[in-house]
Amino acid sequence: MTQPTDPRALALAKARQQIGHAAYGSTAHWSSLAADEQQLFLNEATAWLAAAIAAGVAPPAERPTDEHNAIWLDDEGFLYGEYQTAPSSHGDMLLRLLWAPEERFSKREMEGEGAELRLLGWSK
């Protein structure tokens, strides 16, 4: 299976597969699909994601410029703004958008603990 360049495509493909099976009362898991079926869902998701980006409905996965900071949404509905640090090797810090700077979290650590963050867009 060819891995998509945009990690959101895999999440979209898995969601599409679940929605498709739910209508028939089936709960087939992604890992139980044949590789060619997974690739079909991935190809569709990649095309849909590209169309959504082109239409301005979804943000690009890559930072538009060095001046842009990412806005993230976690799986509990909390918003986070990217907090660029110096040196940039520590650039994964997030500030929960409570407008309280002491409320910052490591993106890497949050994801390591199972949080699912979705890119909402970029601020400048």
Evaluate whether residue 1 is within a structural domain: no
Domain count within the chain = 2
Q: Count each helix (H run) and each strand (E run) in the chain, helices first.
A: 3, 5
Q: So what's the pLDDT on residue 43?
A: 93
Neighbour count for residue 86 (Cβ, 10 Å): 7
Going residue by residue through the chain, which has 124 residues, state the pLDDT in tens, using 9 for 90 and above: 677 778 889 989 998 888 877 777 776 788 888 899 899 999 999 999 999 989 888 888 888 888 888 888 888 888 888 877 766 666 678 888 775 667 778 888 888 999 888 888 777 6
Evaluate whether residue 63 is within a structural domain: no
Exposure class string for 49-70: b at 16+ Cβ within 10 A, else e = beeeeeeeebbeeeeeeeebbb
Evaluate whether residue 35 is within a structural domain: yes
pTM of the model: 0.62
Evaluate whether residue 78 is within a structural domain: yes
What's the maximum distance between 2 C-alpha atoms anywhere in the chain?
52
To the nearest 10°, report the CA torsion of 79, 84, 85, 88: 130
Q: At what angle do helices 7-22 and 35-55 cross, to 10 degrees?
A: 110
Residue 42 and residue 76 in one domain: no
Residue-number span of the structural domain to which 49 is assigned? 7-55
